[in-house]
Each structure stands twice: as C-alpha cells, then as structure tokens.
Amino acid sequence: MIRNGTLIDGSGKPSARNDSIVIAGNRIESVGALPGYIHVEDRKTVEVVDAAGKWIMPGLIDAHCHMSYGYPLIKGEGKGKGTTRPEFSTLKSARSAQKVLRAGVTSISVPGGTWFTDVGVRDAIKLGLMAGPRMFVAGRMIVTYGCIEDDEPSWEGTPDHSIGKLCNTADEMVTEVRRQGKHGVNFIKMADSRSGESQMLAKEEIAAVVGEAHRRNLRVAIHSRGAGSTRAAAEAGVDWIVHADLATDRDLEAVAKAGVPILPTATFLAVVVELGQKVGAEQVQLDINRMKRHYDLLGELMHKARKLGIKLLVGTDTGNNAFTRHGELHAKELEIFVRHGGYTPMQAIVAATRDNAVAVGLEGQVGQVAAGQLADIIVLDKDPVADIAVLQDTKNLALVIKDGKIVDLEPRDEMLVFQQAAE
C-alpha cells in the first residue's frame, strides 16, 4: 500500500492528494479512501510505503527502445559488432534491460533488433530469471532493396546478424511475418527509406503484411518519414507510424481519418544535434543538418497532430547508437513534447503512460494508477508537473514498482563490474 503523497494518475486529471493505493499481487486493487477490510497495523500481510511529500505516477513507457543493436559498446569487447555474436549480445541486452527499469521505465516497445534476442530477454524477465521492464518486441525489420537497414551490396543481401530482413515481394514478406510470429515476436516492424526521400514499400505490400500479422494477433509498426509511405501505411491499417516528419497536411489527414497513432521519436535527433554542436559532426558520423531539419519538422508535426486529433506516442530510440545509452534518455522526449510540441507537462505524462500502452499491447491495462490496472508505479521526490525535466534525473526517483514488486535501485556489485570494464 502506498499512503499519502500527491497522485498524478496518468488519466490527465489534475494532481490530487493521495490517501491510499492498494496493490494486491501485480494489480492495483483500489485507489482512494483506505478500504475498511485492510488493517494497516497488520504488517505481516500489509507492506506500507509512506509517500508523504512525494509524487506518485504510473511507470514510464518508452515506445521506442532498442535492446540488441550491439550498444552500448564496451571497451575491450573486441572486433566485430556485438550483433555478430548473439550470445554476447543477449547478455548485454539483459544488462541494459535492468538499467532501463531502474530509470523508472516499467515498459518498453522494441521496434526491431537482431536475431530473436529481444524475444529471449523479454521471456527471461517474464519468467522471473532477471529484473527488467515489460517488453513488447519486434524482430528484424522487413525491408526491400535500398530501404533503411539494407546496407550491404545486393550480392550480400542482409546477413543474419543484421537488423533488416530483405523481402522484395509481398509473398516473401508474408513468409517472414509467419517466421517471426513462430519465433515469438509481438509485432512486425516494416521500414521504408531512411530519410523519406522516396517510397520503397508499396501500399499492397504493407497491406499484405498487416493482413497476415493481424490474422496472427501480431501488430504492425512502420518506419516512415516520407509522405508516400505514411499515407499508404495509414490506409493499409498499420498500428502505429514511426517518425512521419515529412508527411504533408493531406497525408496527416489520412492518418487522422484512419485513427493511427504517430511515434515521432525526436529524442535521438535532439541528442545528435546537441552532441554534434559539442564534439563536431565528424565525431557523431551523422549529417547534423539533416538531423536538425528532421527535428524541426517533428516539432511542427506535434502541433499539427494535436490539432487533427492524432494520438502521439512517446519514444526515444534509446539503444540505436553508441551515445543513446540505456537508462539515460527515456524521459527526454517528454521535455521535447513540452518545449517544441506545445504539450503541457500533464499532457506529456499522459502520452508517455496511458496513451503509450498501445505500443506495448496493453491499452487499458497499464499506464494509469487506477483500480484494475497492472501495478507499475514510480514515486518521485520532485513534482514532474511543475518541471517535466524532473523525470530525466534518476536521483529524483524514490521508488519503482513493477508488477506489484519494489525494484532494487542499487545493484552495487553489478555496477562495480561495469565500472571496471569501462576504465
């Protein structure tokens, strides 16, 4: 039971004084007045957390977090990307998952990875082998020649350790959906051209993937910056669209009409631009001007989407690069929503909790502090509604509860091992 404190319940209702939140097993049993059947003095069956002077809210959900790209790089790791050694990569992913949870992120959506690493880590967490967030995972991204993640020449194709999976016909795509479904993914990730310069996936191909995936109870997400694929994806019925920064107003109207959410993911771009200005474009090895343009467009997109009633999801692209480290950036996107997207802090919190539940396949089940919801809760020493950046500093985290259990935030021995490796 959590007593006292200020409750931000994830529904968008104003913050309010909390009397009691009762958790039984992994669900929230009641919120509000202390139920008569509970005897607070009975410390054998009731564990009481006093949150007086603190703020209580749903655990954060990062709707865009990669776990098996081979990052973070560890000094001494040796040649070759971690992804060429799935066994090593799996252990790294497991470790990263623990850091994510200790940052107050109780659920993540993983739109693409190598092998079936993320499926394995997800299940290890689910079965209690290790601590970690709830994970909702895709496998390798379905791409055609020239799409993002088709980086090798045609005679090499997409090697087994890569993040993309070449499928140049609708039939090949459907077969890949079936293969990934057999190996336990929760959703299918498709990926169009890298920067949206041209449409690489035909509407019929997207529709074929959506049809097969939905028949198998798998969801579908698509990396789509460009106008053509964004409209095609909306009309084909994908479950959410990632980026969409180059979509025209008419395309966004099609997205709104189809009721498809957009996951803009501005954090990665913000980090590149900030870092690039600090250490120089050469060091980050990315086109800063292009990143800045995408970043500005995403700010505009956030305003337009709100006007059109398009639901925006909150994700960061953590784990997609050496400088997007796990456990550090998950709440940055909320600040960007507020500073560039015209959101109030409360609206950003709702987007990153209740609304984000769709990206982990648990809409109505997680993301709110309400009776019947899964018990994923964080307690903070400072008020995130007064300053949304509070969520970015783990020093402000007093408590993380996932699935009704209190998370150990100080894994001393493990940190020691990591610090040694980093020296």
* 189: helix, strand or coil: strand
Q: How far is the CB of 64 from Zn ion (least distance, A)?
A: 6
Q: Interface residues for Zn ion in 79-98 (CB under 5 A)? A: none
118 counts as binding Zn ion under rule CB under 5 A: no
Q: Which residue number, 180 or 320, has a Cβ lying nearer to Zn ion? A: 320
Q: Interface residues for Zn ion in 18-47 (CB under 5 A)? A: none
Q: Is 281 exposed, middle or buried (0-12, 13-18, 19+ CB in 10 A)?
A: middle
Q: Which residue number, 262 or 369, has a Cβ lying nearer to Zn ion? A: 262
Q: Which residue number, 186 or 320, has a Cβ lying nearer to Zn ion? A: 320
Q: Which residue number, 149 or 176, has a Cβ lying nearer to Zn ion? A: 149
Q: How far is the CB of 111 from Zn ion (least distance, A)?
A: 6
Q: Interface residues for Zn ion in 348-367 (CB under 5 A)? A: none
Q: How far is the CB of 201 from Zn ion (least distance, A)?
A: 17
Q: Which residue number, 317 or 403, has a Cβ lying nearer to Zn ion? A: 317
Give, in order, the Cα–Cα distances in Å from 8 to each of 54, 55, 315, 329, 380. 11, 7, 20, 21, 11
Q: How far apart are CA 142 and CA 165, in angstroms?
A: 5
Q: How far is the CB of 110 from Zn ion (least distance, A)?
A: 9
Task: Give the pairing type, strands 141-143 and 164-166.
Answer: parallel
Q: How many residues lie near Zn ion (CB under 5 A)?
A: 2
Q: How far is the CB of 113 from Zn ion (least distance, A)?
A: 10
Q: Name the one range near Zn ion by CB under 5 A: 147-155, 175-183, 316-324, 356-364.
A: 316-324
Site string for Zn ion, 317-336 (x = CB under 5 A): x--x----------------
Integer-rounded Cα radius of gyration of the chain = 21
Site string for Zn ion, 271-310 (x = CB under 5 A): ----------------------------------------
Identify which of 355, 359, 342 has the alpha carbon closest to the alpha carbon of residue 302.
342
Cβ–Cβ under 8 Å, residues 211 and 178: no
Q: How far apart are CA 148 and CA 31, in angstroms?
A: 46
* 58: helix, strand or coil: strand
Identify which of 105, 15, 23, 104 has the alpha carbon closest to the alpha carbon of residue 54.
15
The closest residue (CB) to Zn ion is: 317
Q: Which residues pair with 16 in a beta bridge?
A: 7
Q: How far is the CB of 142 from Zn ion (least distance, A)?
A: 14
The reply to whether omega before 133 is within 30° of 0 (cis) is no
Give the orientation angle of helix 170-182 with respect to helix 203-215, to 10 degrees. 30
For tokens 């996951």, the residue is 263
Q: How far is the CB of 189 from Zn ion (least distance, A)?
A: 9
**Residues near Zn ion (CB under 5 A):** 317, 320
